[in-house]
Amino acid sequence: MMKLWYGQIVSVVRLEMKKTFFSKRGLWVYLLAFAPVVLYMVHSVYATRQRQHLAQLATEHPISQAAFNGIKTGLSRDQVVAKLGEPYWQRTRYHHGGNGKKRSFVFYRYTDGKNDVSYHFEDNKLTWIHRRDPDTLPKSQLIFATSFQFYFLRLAIFFGCVGIFVNLFRGEMLDKSLHFYMLTPMRREVLLAGKYFAGLLATVVIFTSSTALQWWAMLWQFERGVIVDFLAGPGWIQFGAYLSVTALACVGYGSIFLAVGLLFSNPIIPTAVVLLWESANPFLPPLLKKTSMIYYLQSLCPVTAPPDKNMPPLINLLISPTEPATTLTAVTCIVLLTLLVLVLASRLARKLEINYGTD
Amino acid sequence: MAVYKQTYKDYSGTRTTPWFRFFILSRYSYARLFKSKFLVLFLAVCMFYPLGCAVFIYLSHNIPLLTALRLRSGAMPPIDGEFFNVYCVVQGALAFLLTTLVGPSLVAPDLANGAMSLYLSRPFSRTQYVAGKMTILLLLLSVITWIPGIVLYLIQAGCAGWDWARVHAWLAGSIVLGLWIWIVVLSLIALALSAWVKWKIAAGALILGVFFAGAGFGVAINNVTRTHYGAFIDLMQVVRTIWSDLFRNGSSADLSVTEAWTVLGVTCGLCLWLLARRIRAFEVVK
C-alpha cells in the first residue's frame, strides 16, 4: 500500500510541477524572491566601481589622513580648500530665506582612496561632515542578516508561500479542475501530501536558490583573499544555516497556507491575521513569542540582526528581549507544528466538498 | 404553432440622471457587502479608537473629574496636531485592512466572469464604472477615517471654545485632506490590482504585499545601499511624511514632503493607467 501511495504522491508532484513553477499566476513569486539578488548585485557592482574610482582619485590627488583629521566644523570653505585642495565633486545650491536673504549651501566630496568624506557648508561655514566608510565583510554580514530576517523571511517567503500553497487547492477551485483529482482512486490524504510536496519543492528551490545567489552577490564585491578567509572560517556554516532556515520557513509556512487554502474560501483574512501576528512578534511577551514561526526561524539564523534604527524610542521600549531557542528546539517545534497542521489539513481534505460558485 | 416576431425595443422606463448613474453600482454593492457579518463587526471595531479619543477629549476638559482623579488639567496630553496625527496613523491602518477586505471583490469578479461588456453595453461609461466602484470604498473608508476625525475636532472645539476652533481651524483641513489622500490612494490601488489580477484572493494578497513587502524591501534597499531611496516604495512612510507635514509635526522620515507628494502622484497615475488598460468592454483572448 505504501508503494502505491508513494507512486501516487510522485504522480501528483509531477502534475503540479508545471502549475507551481511556470504558472502565470505565480510569476510574482519570482519577483519577490529574486528582487534582493538584483539589489545585492547592483550594489556589489556599484561598490566595486566606486572603490576603483576612489582609489584612482586618491592616486591623482593624494590627501593625508592627518589633513582629514584637521578639518572641523566651523571652518570656512577657503580654509578647507587650503588644507585639502579642490574637491573631486562639488555642488552649490541657493535658497531664499523668509526674510528674502539668499543663503548658499555647498557640498564638497573628498577621498583618501578608501573613504568618501562629504563636507556641507552653509553660507561658507562648514556645518556637517559625513564620512562614508567602505563596505567591510562584518558590516555586510550584518546587512545581509537584517535584510534576510526583516524582508526575506518575514515577507518574501511568507507571501511566496501564500501565493504557491493557497493556490494548490483554491487555484484548482478557480480553474474548476479540482474534481478531476477527486474522481481518481486516490485517498484525499495522499492528494494533500502530493500537493504539499509539490509546493514545498517549488518554494524550496526558488527561495533557497535566491538565498544562495544573494549570498554570492553579497560576497562578490570583496577581494578573493577576504572571501577565501571568510569561507574557511564561519562562512560555509553561515551559508548552510541560511539555506536551512529558508527551507524550514518554506516547510512551516507552506503547511499553514495549505491548510488556509483548504479551510477558507477567502484566505486573505487568515493571511492578514498570521501576517500581523508574525509582525507583532518582537512586541509579544516571551510565552506568546514562542507561538509564532518567526521566533524559531530567527533563533536559527547565524547572525543576530540589529534592531531598526528608525524605530521610534517609545516603540523600541515595547520590544521584549527573549532568549533565542536552541537549534534542536527550534527545528523540533517547526517540524511538529508542520506535522500537526498537515494532519489537521488531511482530516479537512477528507470532508472537502467542491463548490465552484464561491470564488 | 404560432410564431411571433420578437424584436428588441428601446427601454422606455425612467432613466437615472447620467450624473448619478455611477451610484447604482455602489447601491447594489453595499447591499451585498453588508450581508457579511464580519464586515459589520470590523466596522464596529474600527469605531473603538475614535470613541476612546472622544472620551479622552471629554475627560481632559472635565475639571471636576480631573480633580477627583487628582490630575491637573495640564497633566493630560494636549489635543493638537500630534494627537490628530496619531489618530490618522491608527485609523489609516484600519482603513488599509478594510480595503484589503473589500477592495479585491469589486472589479475582479466582473472581469473574471466577463460581465464588463454587460455593464458597458448600457448607457454607462468606463469612468462611471470606475467612479461607481470607487465610491463604494471612498464612502466606507470615510465612515471610519475623516468623518469621526471631524467629529473629534468638533467635540474638542465644543469643549475648548470658539477661540480654539478659530486658531486650530487648519487642523480640520488637515484631517480631511490627509485622510482623503490616503483613502483615494488605497481605493485606486485596490481597484487597479483587483482589475489587473482578476482573482480576488490574489488581489487581496497583492494589496497586502504592495504595502508590507514594499515597506520591507524599501528597508532592505536602504540597508544594502546605505541610501534613503527605499523610502520611495514604502507607501506607508510616504503618507506618514505627508501627515507629519499637514499636522505640523517634526518628521524624521527619509523623504522630503515634495518627494512624498511626487511618489503619491506617480502611484495614483500608475493605478489610473492600469484601470484604463483593464476596464474595457472587450477582451482579446489569445
Distance from CA of A147 to the nearest CA of B (A): 5
The C-alpha R_g of chain A, in whole angstroms, comes to 27
For residues B275 and B195, the answer to whether their CB atoms sit within 8 Å is yes
**Residue-level pLDDT at A257:** 93
Q: Which amino acid is at A180?
A: F
| DSSP-assigned states of every residue in B170-212 | HHHHHHHHHHHHHHHHHHHHHHHHHHHH--HHHHHHHHHHHHH
Put the strands of the sheet holding A125-132 in their side by side order: A89-96, A102-111, A116-122, A125-132
**Residue-level pLDDT at B134:** 93
What digits encode the pLDDT tens for the residues B201-231? 888 888 888 898 888 899 889 888 888 888 8
**Residue-level pLDDT at B120:** 87
Task: For residue A95, count CB atoms less than 10 angstroms from its CB and return exposed for 0-12, middle for 13-18, buried for 19 or more.
Answer: exposed
Contacts A162 to B, Cβ<8 Å: 205
The C-alpha R_g of chain B, in whole angstroms, comes to 23
Query: How far is it, in rounded angstroms, from Cα A343 to Cα B168?
Result: 60
For residues B236 and B186, the answer to whether their CB atoms sit within 8 Å is no
Nearest to B213 by CA among A36, A270, A255: A36
Q: Which residues contact B63 (CB under 8 A, 6 or more apart)?
A: B73
Residue A359 contacts B, CB cutoff 8 Å: yes
The answer to whether B216 contacts A310, with C-beta atoms less than 8 Å apart, is no
Nearest to A259 by CA among A353, A159, A163, A341: A341
Of A40, A143, A154, the CB nearest to B216: A154
The answer to whether A32 contacts B209, with C-beta atoms less than 8 Å apart, is yes
**Residue-level pLDDT at B79:** 87
The answer to whether A150 contacts B254, with C-beta atoms less than 8 Å apart, is no
**Residue-level pLDDT at B122:** 84
Query: How far is it, in rounded angstroms, from Cα B22 to Cα B43?
Result: 24
Q: Is the pLDDT of residue B2 over 90?
A: no
What digits encode the pLDDT tens for the residues B93-132? 999 999 998 988 888 888 888 888 888 888 888 999 999 9
Does residue B224 fall inside a structural domain? yes
- Which helix (H) or strand (E) covers residue B48, if one does? helix B48-60
Query: How far is it, in rounded angstroms, from Cα A91 to Cα A100?
Result: 22
The three-state secondary structure class of A109 is: strand
The answer to whether A32 contacts B213, with C-beta atoms less than 8 Å apart, is yes
Does residue B13 fall inside a structural domain? no
Nearest to A299 by CA among A279, A336, A325, A328: A325
Domain count, chain B: 1
Q: CA A45 → CA A49, A218, A223, A328, B223, distances in Å?
A: 6, 10, 13, 39, 16
ipTM, interface predicted TM-score of the complex: 0.79
The three-state secondary structure class of A23 is: coil
Which A positions 2-31 lie with beta carbon below 8 A of chain B? 25, 28
The answer to whether A147 contacts B224, with C-beta atoms less than 8 Å apart, is yes
Give the chain A residue nearest B109 (alpha carbons).
A359
Query: How far is it, in rounded angstroms, from Cα A238 to Cα B158?
Result: 62
Query: How far is it, in rounded angstroms, from Cα A10 to Cα A279?
Result: 36
Which A positions 310-339 lie with beta carbon below 8 A of chain B? 310
**Residue-level pLDDT at A113:** 81
Helical ranges in chain A per DSSP H: 2-22, 27-60, 65-69, 77-84, 137-147, 158-166, 172-174, 178-182, 188-219, 224-230, 236-263, 268-279, 286-289, 293-300, 313-317, 327-350
| Matching residue, cell 480631511 | B176
Residue B285 contacts A, CB cutoff 8 Å: no
**Residue-level pLDDT at B251:** 66
**Residue-level pLDDT at A35:** 93
For residues A120 and A191, the answer to whether their CB atoms sit within 8 Å is no
Does residue B5 fall inside a structural domain? no
What digits encode the pLDDT tens for the residues B40-93? 999 999 999 999 999 999 888 887 877 777 776 667 788 888 899 999 999 999
Instruction: Provide the sign of the torsion angle of the four alpha carbons A31, A33, A37, A42, taken in this order.
Output: positive
Dihedral over alpha carbons B21, B23, B29, B35 (to 10 degrees) = -130
Of B101, B201, B217, the CB nearest to A151: B217
The answer to whether B208 contacts A268, with C-beta atoms less than 8 Å apart, is yes
The answer to whether B101 contacts A269, with C-beta atoms less than 8 Å apart, is yes
Residues of chain B above pLDDT 90, percent: 43
- List per-block mean pLDDT (blocks of 10 residues) for chain A, which spans 359 residues: 89 88 82 93 90 86 82 86 86 74 84 85 86 85 91 92 89 84 90 94 96 94 89 91 96 94 85 90 85 92 80 72 88 95 91 72
Distance from CA of B136 to the nearest CA of A (A): 20
Does residue B235 fall inside a structural domain? yes
The answer to whether B213 contacts A170, with C-beta atoms less than 8 Å apart, is no
Contacts A132 to B, Cβ<8 Å: 226
**A54-63, A152-161, B252-261, B274-283: which has the highest mean pLDDT?**
A152-161
Contacts B197 to A, Cβ<8 Å: 25
Residue A143 contacts B, CB cutoff 8 Å: yes
**Residue-level pLDDT at B83:** 92
The answer to whether A272 contacts B220, with C-beta atoms less than 8 Å apart, is no
**Residue-level pLDDT at B116:** 87
Residue A176 contacts B, CB cutoff 8 Å: no
DSSP B226: S
The answer to whether B100 contacts A272, with C-beta atoms less than 8 Å apart, is yes
Nearest to A124 by CA among A80, A85, A90, A83: A80
Mean pLDDT of chain B: 88
Does residue B17 fall inside a structural domain? no
Does residue B169 fall inside a structural domain? yes
Residue B229 contacts A, CB cutoff 8 Å: no
Tell me the CATH number for domain A62-132. 3.30.1450.10
The answer to whether B101 contacts A310, with C-beta atoms less than 8 Å apart, is no
Q: How many CB atoms lie within 10 A of CB B93?
A: 13
Nearest to B199 by CA among B207, A251, B181: B207
Of A32, A151, A166, the CB nearest to B201: A166
Residue A269 contacts B, CB cutoff 8 Å: yes
- Boundaries of CATH 3.30.1450.10 in chain A? 62-132
Give the chain A residue nearest B100 (alpha carbons).
A268
Does residue B148 fall inside a structural domain? yes
In which domain, by residue range, is B38 found? Answer: 22-278
The answer to whether A132 contacts B201, with C-beta atoms less than 8 Å apart, is no
